[in-house]
């Protein structure tokens, strides 16, 4: 009996021991998990911030979302996620992210500020103003008030000039200087104080023209949202439109050399008029003036250097450039068109005999054409020996473009070696006509001719090219394209194809055929029109890739977050995450809205696969 009691005691003690051990392990695991969870968002946040600083917006977006999944009220992470979206130019997603934050923290000033920045990215001035006003009302934040005041000061009426000759016009815009320094004309409600003095006429949504009828000064106002701006226009009998100087050309001056200058004014009717302009030396240490007003002026070179004189009358401003030589030589550069000029070595002045290099760099859409001024050449970069001071002008011109428009008659595809539809003039492109089963290629029509299926086209101008396909058993009369439904032109703006030989698909063709229309254009519209007769011309089609059946993945059990960096190349997942501010609408920037099912669904499926 005693033996049995001892045995039961030992069993109870063993069970108690096991329970205690289990509790200890459970408690330890619980606290370890809490520690891990508390550390992980911090690590995610640091990775996200570093990626944002390095302009790795997709990577930072993913890690900021991870932080918000742990703590939706994390202000810094929410602002960071919105900033990443703005870096990707997904402004609607940024706004949605921040508006979700306002539901959690309705008095957070940062949310209002960054929402206003997102609307600025969308060039939506009324919404920028409204957001700041809402933020001031909700938070009474001084910084938001200062931002609203700064915004108002950056909105101004900008006429071509403030002086208008009677019987003539001036264009006027309301201009918004954005935080990045760029300017944008905006729509406004315009009002004239005295309509007897003149009239306003709308040229476009953002440009007005004022016609001057009576002499005097007229007040003009423009209102956008809660902001009203005012300005004045002066109507004169004569208003100077051009000033000419004598002498017209002058080379580098020597120290202590004087030059006599005179100016003549011409009004809006092309008649000479009396003027009394103001003269200003932009550097008195280099160039000294004998007076500040008048049509005649004496300028004296004081010291070596490069400077200019500014001449102003009735808010028309002209500049005269001067080079004063001493022991050192100078280079003055100007630009005509869009581009920049760099000088190597880059110095203020150079000893005589210095070898220099001038390099002209065009902006996007422009090309360097030539040098003008004291140097006439087309070489770029240009190497020179500087024996005297020079003034040079780099001339840039827009790159000449040629447009390729493709269309098809019959059943077939046009395979091309590039997706582009705009080309630099002189570029070459390869086209290959590929018939469908039961059809054969007949010939090319339009800007080219011939029956070779593969051709090389030189884009020395706009090209409209049609590939004509006929049935294998068709009579010669069936190969023509003169019937009303037999041709199908396209702009080629949305063509699909690649160098590996996939077929080209004109994106804006007319007529019948199995064409794919981007679902982003008209959400919900049936994108699969019924096919017409096979003889009708069809847009260039893209061959549909074979579909692969992918196994449905079983959902994985929830795991402890891992700080291993996700693949930043993965696209933005369209998850329903209102707490993190992710996509709340399919039509947001950066994502297309899924169209409704069409009759067969094939074209929609093909478009989504693309």
pLDDT, tens only, 441-497: 999 999 999 999 999 999 988 999 999 999 997 554 444 443 333 333 333 333 333
Burial 127-144 (b: 16+ CB within 10 A, else e): bbbbbbbebbebbebeeb
Q: Where do the structural domains in the chain lie, given as residue ranges?
A: 44-153, 155-236, 246-325, 328-398
φ/ψ region of 502 (left if φ > 0, alpha if ψ in -120 to 50, else beta) reads beta
Spans of the chain, pLDDT less than 70: 1-8, 10, 14, 17, 19, 25-39, 474-610
Torsion of CA 484, 487, 492, 498, to 10 degrees: 150
Closest CA to 421 of 494, 480, 477: 494
Return the CATH fold of 155-236: Immunoglobulin-like (2.60.40)
What tokens appear for 17 in the block?
A: 């021991």
Is the C-alpha dihedral spanning 537, 540, 546, 552 positive or negative? negative
CA distances from 310 to 258, 278, 317, 318 (A): 17, 8, 7, 6
Residue 143: per-residue pLDDT: 94
Residue 345: per-residue pLDDT: 93
Would you say 593 and 520 are in contact if contact means Cβ atoms under 8 Å apart? yes
Residue 21: per-residue pLDDT: 75
Per-position DSSP letters for 513-538, written without gaps between them: SS----TTTSTTS---PPP--TTS-B
The pTM score is 0.58
CATH of the domain spanning 246-325: 2.60.40.1080
| Alpha carbon distance, N-terminus to C-terminus of the chain | 83
Query: Which run of H or E residues covers position 17?
Result: helix 2-53
Cα(595)–Cα(113) distance, rounded to whole angstroms? 34
Q: Is 66 helix (H, G, I), strand (E, B) or coil?
A: helix
Would you say 448 and 455 are in contact if contact means Cβ atoms under 8 Å apart? yes
Task: Indicate the pairing of strand 169-177 with strand 163-165.
Answer: unpaired
Residue 29: per-residue pLDDT: 62
Residue 19: per-residue pLDDT: 67
Cα(328)–Cα(254) distance, rounded to whole angstroms? 11
Cα(124)–Cα(598) distance, rounded to whole angstroms? 35
Same CATH topology for 44-153 and 155-236: the answer is no
Residue 514: per-residue pLDDT: 33
What tokens appear for 187 in the block?
A: 């729509």
Residue 193: per-residue pLDDT: 87
Strand partners, 156: 175
Cα(108)–Cα(98) distance, rounded to whole angstroms? 10
Closest CA to 282 of 321, 309, 319, 313: 309
Residue that the structure tokens 């009302």 belong to: 137
CA distances from 140 to 103, 116, 143, 519, 531 (A): 18, 16, 9, 43, 62
Angle (nearest 5°) at CA 225 between 224 and 227: 70
- CATH 3.40.50.12780 for domain 44-153: no
């Amino acid at each position: 009996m005693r033996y049995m009691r001892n045995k039961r005691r030992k069993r109870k003690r063993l069970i108690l021991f096991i329970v205690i051990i289990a509790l200890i392990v459970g408690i330890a695991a619980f606290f370890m998990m809490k520690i891990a969870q508390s550390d992980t968002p911090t690590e995610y946040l640091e990775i996200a911030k570093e990626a944002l600083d390095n302009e790795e917006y997709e990577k930072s977006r993913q890690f900021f979302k991870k932080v918000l999944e742990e703590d939706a009220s994390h202000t810094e992470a929410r602002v960071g996620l919105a900033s990443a979206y703005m870096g990707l130019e997904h402004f609607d997603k940024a706004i949605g992210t921040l508006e979700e934050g306002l539901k959690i923290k309705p008095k957070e000033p940062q949310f209002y500020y960054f929402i206003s920045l997102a609307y600025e990215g969308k060039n939506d001035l009324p919404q920028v103003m409204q957001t700041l006003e809402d933020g001031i009302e909700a938070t009474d934040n001084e910084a938001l008030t200062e931002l609203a005041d700064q915004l108002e000061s950056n909105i101004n009426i900008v006429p071509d000039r403030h002086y208008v000759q009677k019987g003539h016009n001036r264009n006027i815009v309301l201009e918004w200087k954005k935080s990045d320094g760029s300017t944008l004309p905006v729509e406004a409600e315009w009002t004239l104080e005295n309509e007897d003095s003149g009239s306003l006429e709308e040229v476009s949504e953002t440009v007005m023209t004022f016609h001057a009828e009576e002499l005097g000064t007229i007040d003009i106002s423009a209102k956008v949202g809660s902001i009203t701006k005012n300005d004045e226009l002066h109507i004169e009998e004569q208003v100077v439109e051009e000033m000419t100087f004598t002498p017209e050309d002058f080379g580098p001056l020597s120290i202590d050399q004087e030059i006599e200058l005179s100016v003549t004014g011409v009004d809006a009717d092309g008649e000479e008029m009396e003027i009394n302009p103001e003269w200003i030396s932009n550097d008195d240490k280099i160039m000294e003036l004998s007076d500040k007003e008048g049509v005649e002026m004496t300028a004296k070179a004081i010291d070596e250097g490069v400077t200019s004189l500014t001449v102003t009358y009735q808010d028309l401003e002209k500049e005269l450039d001067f080079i004063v030589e001493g022991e050192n030589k100078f280079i003055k550069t100007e630009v005509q068109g869009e581009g920049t000029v760099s000088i190597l070595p880059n110095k203020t002045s150079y000893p005589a005999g210095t070898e220099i290099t001038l390099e002209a760099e065009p902006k996007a859409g422009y090309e360097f054409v030539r040098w003008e001024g004291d140097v006439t050449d087309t070489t770029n970069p240009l190497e020179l020996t500087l024996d005297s001071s020079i003034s040079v002008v780099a001339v840039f011109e827009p790159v000449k473009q040629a447009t390729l428009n493709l269309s098809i008659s019959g059943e077939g595809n046009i395979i091309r070696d590039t997706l582009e539809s705009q080309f630099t003039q002189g570029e070459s492109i390869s086209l290959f006509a590929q018939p469908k089963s039961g059809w054969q290629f007949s010939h090319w029509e339009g800007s080219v001719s011939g029956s070779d299926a593969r051709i090389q086209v030189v884009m020395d101008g706009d090209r409209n090219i049609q590939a004509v396909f006929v049935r294998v058993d068709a009579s010669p009369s069936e190969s023509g394209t003169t019937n009303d439904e037999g041709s199908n032109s396209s702009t080629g703006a949305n063509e699909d194809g690649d160098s590996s030989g996939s077929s080209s698909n004109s994106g804006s063709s007319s007529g019948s055929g199995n064409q794919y229309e981007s679902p982003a254009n008209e959400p919900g519209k049936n994108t699969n029109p019924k096919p017409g007769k096979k003889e009708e011309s069809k847009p260039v089609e893209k061959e549909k890739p074979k579909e692969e059946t992918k196994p449905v993945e079983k959902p994985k059990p929830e795991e402890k977050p891992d700080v291993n960096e996700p693949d930043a190349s993965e696209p933005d997942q369209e998850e329903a995450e209102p707490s993190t501010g992710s996509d709340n609408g399919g039509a947001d920037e950066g994502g297309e809205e899924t169209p409704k099912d069409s009759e067969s669904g094939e074209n929609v499926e093909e478009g989504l696969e693309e």
